[in-house]
Amino acid sequence: MGAHGHPDRQAEPGREIPEADSTAATVPAAAEARAEAAQTEAVEAASADPVAAEVARARLVRSIVAGGGLADPRWRVAFEQVPRHLFVPYFYSGEPGGYERLWGQDPDPERRARWLEGVYEDVPLATRLRDGELISSSSQPSLMALMLDALEVADGDTVLEIGAGSGYNAGLLAHRLGAERVTTVDLDPEITESARTHLAAAGYRPTVVTGDGARGCPARAPFDRILATCALPAVPLTWLAQSRPGGIVLAPLATGLIALRVTDATHAEGRFLPTPAYFVPLRGGDAAEHGRAADGEGAGGSGRFPRRPLRTGGLPRGVLRNDSFHFLLTLTAGRLDPREAFELWQHEGRPPRERYGVTLHEGREWGWLDRSDGPYSWPMSDQD
């Protein structure tokens, strides 16, 4: 059991549960039911022609498979059967001078067709803006497939998702594992309400929690897997305490994906996956309380992590545009001088992401190249 596990406080799948140590918010059942019914009608009204949607979905799956994804047939079936358009009734497309909103209820059939085509493109989709800032998105499906495969889930596993987004990823997890084994948390009550509605319209009712993603979900712990769909500056120690020994924490860190194997509540270690990854920052948590100075799809709690400035040290623009160096520069921001990072990068043959890793041990967290006890390491938190 995780240090904060309370197995007697299991929520009914699809219902909100309060958290004693988070900013969780609950909605009265009657009001929630009315809102859910109204929004479900809106989602269903936005549903595309079933045949056109099925054709578009099959085309997306073929594209992901052609790129080397969905090798596990069970994930392929999930992508074939979970309708993404029910989770993205509208999205924002970048246009000169702003955004264009495309939605499934548009009276113009040409724009409705563009909406459906866009939903099933292998691209991330902006789903929620606030004051011109992107606060939630539906991730690129091929990247979602890669992350789900990297979770190495088995039948019976429980999963905590940090960052509910549109609810599509939780829907894929619920299809694969069963809704009762999936929990998704997000800071914004509007995001969790819409995610719950989308999931219900698609026939899934996992537990959806409004709360601080940096704090996890102690009421549903322990978890076999924790998956973050929002960018982090460092991994919160609370997630380790809510993981079962042998569990996996997979999270966007810097511009990569770190896969940590959990030993116990105070120790985890792992390497980065080879692929680049760019996500909406984690929103929430108190930096001092979580022991992090941080630069953080939108999860969080009581405020935004303070941003760690990315210094470039006057290095040439061409170097800064190099993906592998930009990853190292971001990973070591505020910890290594940019020129020191550049010298390391050159001396070690411009190492790819998978040569880097992260270790958490008894309150300390550090990044490293090649091995945790090797010559190249740096702290990931202010407590180190």
Secondary structure class of 22 (helix, strand, coil): coil
Confidence (pLDDT) at 284: 60
**283 pLDDT more than 90:** no
Secondary structure class of 130 (helix, strand, coil): strand
Total count of domains within the chain: 2
Is 2 part of any domain? no
230 and 332 belong to one structural domain: no
Is 208 part of any domain? yes
Q: What is the mean pLDDT of residues 170-189?
A: 97
Q: What is the mean pLDDT of residues 243-264?
A: 97
- Domain residues for the domain of 169 are 29-42+124-260
Is 252 part of any domain? yes
Please provide the average confidence, as pLDDT, over all residues in the chain.
Answer: 83
Q: What is the mean pLDDT of residues 30-40?
A: 45
Domain boundary among 227, 260, 293: 260
Confidence (pLDDT) at 383: 53
**308 pLDDT more than 90:** no
Q: What is the mean pLDDT of residues 89-103?
A: 87
Name which of 114-123, 290-299, 346-355 the model is least confident about: 290-299
339 and 246 belong to one structural domain: no
Span 55-94, pLDDT tens digits: 999 999 999 999 999 999 999 999 999 999 999 999 998 8
Is 11 part of any domain? no
Domain boundary among 196, 229, 260: 260
Report whether 338 contacts 329 (CB < 8 A).
yes
Is 12 part of any domain? no
Span 290-300, pLDDT tens digits: 333 222 243 33
247 and 365 belong to one structural domain: no
Secondary structure class of 329 (helix, strand, coil): helix
Q: What percent of the chain has pLDDT over 90?
A: 67
CA distance 287 to 285: 6
Is 146 part of any domain? yes
315 and 256 belong to one structural domain: no
Residue 100 identity (one-letter amino acid): E
CA distance 56 to 338: 45
135 and 202 belong to one structural domain: yes
Name which of 105-114, 126-135, 170-179, 360-369 the model is least confident about: 126-135
Q: Which residue has the higher pLDDT, 298 or 362?
A: 362
Helices (H), 202-244: 237-241
Q: What percent of the chain has pLDDT over 70?
A: 80
Domain boundary among 201, 230, 260: 260
Confidence (pLDDT) at 343: 96
250 and 366 belong to one structural domain: no
Whether 63 is catalytic is: no
Is 169 part of any domain? yes
143 and 202 belong to one structural domain: yes
CATH number for position 220? 3.40.50.150
Strand order across the 90-95 sheet? 98-103, 90-95, 125-130, 133-138
Contacts of 232 (CB under 8 A, 6+ apart): 251, 252, 253, 282, 294, 296
Report whether 281 contacts 296 (CB < 8 A).
yes
Is 78 part of any domain? no
Query: Which one of the listed residues 47, 63, 93, 136 is annotated catalytic?
Result: 136
Span 312-325, pLDDT tens digits: 878 888 889 899 99
